[in-house]
Structure 1
């Protein structure tokens, strides 16, 4: 497939908000006429709430409100109900149920974490269709999340830069037409306390204007010694139906986060378990690292007529991360003395994105075309300072004594301390066409053109690197509805992602380029109550940075990785009383070309086998009416624990979580969650045998939900 594809059409379809009206008219023998009745019900939309575990519509894969059953690509949607049942304030546990999503580096637990989809690592996060991984944004908070959507495979034709494994798009909560107020309180082991508030109120009788406020307060210690943190979130949103044809939505989010920076435990001689999973190898006196973010976005939609609409949107975010942290650097020959360095980080960033879209529907003969024409402009600026000391803060890993004198930072052009200014401009044009060829066959054709300018100024070394890239990334897919319950689909698409920095000669690197192929089947079973997607995939990525053999300490874009396998996900209602969600993935991911890594070697933190299942039983009647009980099982196979150390491996593990909810009154619900019920010792992720993050021991949490 050539990236120079000439694509005739482009996409989009708006869809249904759905009003169902029923009129009843009858006449008796006295010729009396009954009054006409109109019943209005809200149906699911791509950005609205989901009943239970199964979403049936999404905009993440196409940019338009489209039934998932008609989308020719694998898409996992984890609704807010899953996060609520897990009593989880972050999305990582929800991602266990997406299938093929593995945990990668989490930057000391402080920011947006890395992850891999179908074996290929990335840190690309989107929220409401906007990139939010620029800078060091905080991890998303469940208090302002309506659903988490994982689009499998390359999506550069829609979003621009990205990795071929897939992309996560988070849909935030929006104002609703009905008033409500909800307060949630929870408390758990290690002095974990959290409270959230969700208030929604229409501002007029017709609910043409509505205001919603989500807020969260969190304070916690940890099973890890000396690790503690606190977070505050405030997220107001406002919607206004200015006329039947014009709609305005404004959303904001402010996050204040302070936490001890923590790289985890280590594995002397590649052996895990020699130090306790609570052992902390930083310095408590370093205190908190602060990460403060502010986001503001607005979108205006206008219907030109019954078939065409315009959308203009603006997204702005800024943030600052700063603080001290002592981090593991070298384990000395005695295998017990750890050399550490002190680091001070101070990073500030701003990111502004403007989007314009024209959506419409046309027909050529009997073929329906749903078109999307979009343009995007982004400006991103980062000022990043890192001060580092020499590896002089020694500590005994078996008998740690804290309070070593704070060492001086090593400044100058030796590379230990850096000051980078980065400026990025990106201009893009997106074209997409969703075609309905007949009652059974539909197709998707799309492409995106990106013009990417990046400048990196190294203020310490006094150097500058610049790069400009132009890229067209196409996507094609088709879905054939074999029966009303069974749909067959296939797709092929490309991806690209710019590589930062420059090589030994000062020239910028070529961007990473990926390609992905997928084929699968979608099932709608039990009268559309249960959805299942099965898919096989083959992905590859080239121009991965690898060591320059001719210039020590420099890189070249010459690596290549490949991933292939099979995954499955399912969600829905088995009966009125049983809701279920789960996934399985087999991923064979390996190095295909590299200057330092072994060809055929496994990729970091990627298990070959992983699977999950959560089910909840809701007692419908009898003495137990109002009670829900359930459990979740998560299995992760063994994984490579360090890129350049094939002898270090993280063992497989399985955890079991139990939950119960009791609706004491119409407005009061009590909850209980027992996590890691069998107290399994396991390790979630690692970057090397010096940075390994263990999982939580068994812990119990209580929650209370109050509707006012």
Structure 2
């Protein structure tokens, strides 16, 4: 196991007979001129050169120096600069630094190299290429992510839980730029040990890049389909000669058009961090990141799926009824401070303060209804009509986390322990104009006319919402070495949760104290290559975003996840493989009540007991051979509520991923070629369920991608990425509010990169 500090030993063998004390400086100087052999594991073994005093002639006896141990910190979790598709360790599941083979849960790590190879420039593109994660894109700005049948609402920045999504804007992280991050860690299943609350889906941990002691710089310029342009700059530099104080700046800018008519996404982002070693064992970090997402012509929902005669409509992928005044702006700001102290006995203490701020402002227009198949119009109440809404707001979340971890001895064996506490407070304020019919003149769905002018939102009644959420928790996990091949991880968390929520003139208060969430995992090392594990995680998920038909907030969902798996570590840990079988049981899970609304006009939900999800996941990540990287995975689940009704049928039950790159050998070594495929099974909306009255279905489909990269010089390369090579037409969603929205056709991106 990698536990942070790595000891490098320099051994000078021979006989030591006290000559060191009386030897001249020239003798000592020539003694350290040793031939150093680097072993495959990175340890240093040195054989001394013969020691000779020139004044006395050839030495009759060899003089040996005692072993010298040089200790320094070695980070095997960082992926930047490794060229790898896997990592040496992760603490995403338990806060204990463990290899993937030692972690008793299904974990996928999307490394910096893979993000660069595939041009995965947003968190959405990362998650859409991750085993066991399915996306559901309602429109141009809202994408929700699911795992094992449940919505992903657990997001962390450097291990610190952050609220970034709700039922309105999905998982809330799709548009975040990935240029700031060294890697994205996805732990599937329950994660209550670290997050306190959340669904038994997955936890997403965004791990930031850090400042380096040596100067480095990188830049890239990209151009692609629909006049898409992207620029990125990344500079890390020491601020003192010894690198004790260092800084890093990263910035991106991306804009252009889209395959959707009139839609123009734009994204600007900035990240800065300063780190200082106050002592050799104490490091302080201060950082700030800013992301400004300002699309124009944003869509709200799709286009009408059903004609009035009960047949389905079909559109070109570019069709879009959003107007030039439509927009959905989001600004995300994070400031953080961190201090870490490392003790000589292997223990460390870390304290983190994180402030996360959001601002959003949206004015949107969609079209719903059942137009006439012949004319594309219709006569009221039939036909397709524009629907508008507006929303604006802001939020702030302050989080403080303190943690201590390290080894301890008990009963003659060494074990590891982590203890910590987290406290957060989130306040949010927003005001909304509820969706309303913008006019009674039908829209022709064939040419999407007439255009609709911007309503006078300022003259309308806005509904205010104010929310305050306080969470706190203490957690601990211990990894016991029961025997050389057998390890037991046990832990738990006591969480407290309190919310005050006011919508218009109504308000509510909910509080839950000392809720215990257990965690347990047993890992058996079959040999140096394989390990088997079983794990158990508890689930506690407040559902304050969901209200019943009376307007009351649903009580928390509770449950458990059981998992059993086999993991393998190959090629000197450069390749990791895993297979996991899981079962999740959840009571009081929020389910949409079709056609039922709260007194305020929002969608109503109910708590469903007996929800179960079962499935299997396989994952392969790393290097098959020198220069040959691969990522592959397949996941399948079945999920039903207590009445036997399919849970979240709008997401596919089976997904598969494959992407690989190969650097050609010999004279062709400047060229790297790659390609991949994503496949998913069908999904559907059943009639009169959820938000659909007539339903809709998308069959299974596969998307193929290709890439090629050529190294012009050692520092400069040019790459070309092609997505959806065979120009497959497919629906992102089909049936949501009886509408349909399509995915992007074939597209190309060329990128010129420089790194020093």
Return the TM-score normalized by structure 2. 0.85
Alignment deviations for residues 499-539 of structure 1 (CA, whole Å, 9 cap, x no partner): 11554566542112231111010011233332110111111
The residue number in structure 1 matching 2:409 is 363
3-state secondary structure, aligned to 1:474: strand
Select 2:619's aligned residue among 557, 569, 581: 569
Alignment deviations for residues 613-672 of structure 1 (CA, whole Å, 9 cap, x no partner): 1111101312x2210011011111101246535842122110111100000111110111
The residue number in structure 2 matching 1:477 is 521
Contact 2:361-2:393 at 8 Å conserved across structures = yes
The reply on whether 1:110 has 2:123 as its aligned counterpart is: no
The reply on whether 1:620 has 2:665 as its aligned counterpart is: yes
Distance in structure 2 (CA, Å) of the matches to 1:15 and 1:80: 20
Shift of 1:89: 1.2
Alignment deviations for residues 318-375 of structure 1 (CA, whole Å, 9 cap, x no partner): 1210031102343357675322221111011101001111223222203433111111
Shift of 1:140: 2.3
Contact 2:267-2:291 at 8 Å conserved across structures = yes
3-state secondary structure, aligned to 1:316: strand
Distance in structure 2 (CA, Å) of the matches to 1:209 and 1:552: 57
The 10-residue stretch of structure 1 (30-39 or 627-636) with the greater mean CA deviation from structure 2: 30-39
Unpaired segments of 5 or more residues in structure 2?
9-42, 53-57, 378-382, 599-603
The count of residues paired between Structure 1 and Structure 2 equals: 683
3-state secondary structure, aligned to 1:340: strand
Q: Return the structure number with greater relative CO, CA threshold 8 A, min gap 6.
A: 1
Distance in structure 2 (CA, Å) of the matches to 1:272 and 1:698: 25
RMSD: 2.9
Contact 1:387-1:411 at 8 Å conserved across structures = no
Select 1:665's aligned residue among 703, 713, 723: 713
CA, structure 1 residues 243+402, in 2 after alignment: closer, same or farther (shift >3 Å)? farther
Distance in structure 2 (CA, Å) of the matches to 1:37 and 1:358: 30
The reply on whether 1:582 has 2:612 as its aligned counterpart is: no
CA, structure 1 residues 56+266, in 2 after alignment: closer, same or farther (shift >3 Å)? farther
Shift of 1:380: 0.3
The reply on whether 1:123 has 2:132 as its aligned counterpart is: no
Select 2:530's aligned residue among 477, 480, 486: 486
Select 2:92's aligned residue among 60, 68, 83: 60
Contact 1:648-1:689 at 8 Å conserved across structures = no
3-state secondary structure, aligned to 1:225: coil
Shift of 1:442: 0.7
The 10-residue stretch of structure 1 (557-566 or 178-187) with the greater mean CA deviation from structure 2: 557-566
Shift of 1:557: 2.5
Shift of 1:267: 2.1
CA, structure 1 residues 266+171, in 2 after alignment: closer, same or farther (shift >3 Å)? farther
The residue number in structure 2 matching 1:9 is none
Select 2:479's aligned residue among 420, 429, 434: 434
Shift of 1:149: 0.9
The reply on whether 1:535 has 2:587 as its aligned counterpart is: no
Select 2:265's aligned residue among 229, 233, 244: 229
3-state secondary structure, aligned to 2:214: coil
3-state secondary structure, aligned to 2:117: helix
3-state secondary structure, aligned to 1:371: strand
Shift of 1:304: 4.3
Unpaired segments of 5 or more residues in structure 1?
1-11, 594-598
The reply on whether 1:155 has 2:187 as its aligned counterpart is: no
Select 1:322's aligned residue among 341, 356, 361: 361
Distance in structure 1 (CA, Å) of the matches to 2:746 and 2:209: 31
The residue number in structure 1 matching 2:24 is none
Contact 1:641-1:685 at 8 Å conserved across structures = no
The residue number in structure 2 matching 1:25 is 48
Distance in structure 1 (CA, Å) of the matches to 2:227 and 2:243: 41
Shift of 1:411: 9.3
Distance in structure 1 (CA, Å) of the matches to 2:605 and 2:730: 34
3-state secondary structure, aligned to 2:104: coil
Alignment deviations for residues 81-128 of structure 1 (CA, whole Å, 9 cap, x no partner): 11111123113333344321100246x4336x4211122222332221
The residue number in structure 2 matching 1:7 is none
The reply on whether 1:189 has 2:178 as its aligned counterpart is: no
Shift of 1:400: 1.0
Select 1:650's aligned residue among 682, 685, 698: 698
Shift of 1:435: 1.5
Distance in structure 1 (CA, Å) of the matches to 2:112 and 2:312: 35
Alignment deviations for residues 179-198 of structure 1 (CA, whole Å, 9 cap, x no partner): 11111110001010000001
CA, structure 1 residues 82+40, in 2 after alignment: closer, same or farther (shift >3 Å)? farther
Contact 1:662-1:669 at 8 Å conserved across structures = yes
The 10-residue stretch of structure 1 (188-197 or 511-520) with the greater mean CA deviation from structure 2: 511-520
3-state secondary structure, aligned to 1:84: helix
- 1:343-354 equivalent positions in 2, closer than 5 A: 343-354=389-400
Shift of 1:495: 1.3
Distance in structure 1 (CA, Å) of the matches to 2:253 and 2:71: 37
Distance in structure 1 (CA, Å) of the matches to 2:718 and 2:433: 48
Contact 1:387-1:410 at 8 Å conserved across structures = no
Alignment deviations for residues 60-88 of structure 1 (CA, whole Å, 9 cap, x no partner): 11113222211111111110111111123
3-state secondary structure, aligned to 2:294: strand
- 1:585-596 equivalent positions in 2, closer than 5 A: 585-593=635-643
Distance in structure 1 (CA, Å) of the matches to 2:325 and 2:552: 42
Return the TM-score normalized by structure 1. 0.90
The 10-residue stretch of structure 1 (390-399 or 611-620) with the greater mean CA deviation from structure 2: 390-399
Select 1:295's aligned residue among 331, 334, 349: 334
The residue number in structure 1 matching 2:466 is 421
- 1:590-605 equivalent positions in 2, closer than 5 A: 590-593=640-643, 599-605=644-650
Select 2:447's aligned residue among 391, 399, 403: 399
CA, structure 1 residues 637+615, in 2 after alignment: closer, same or farther (shift >3 Å)? same
The residue number in structure 2 matching 1:6 is none
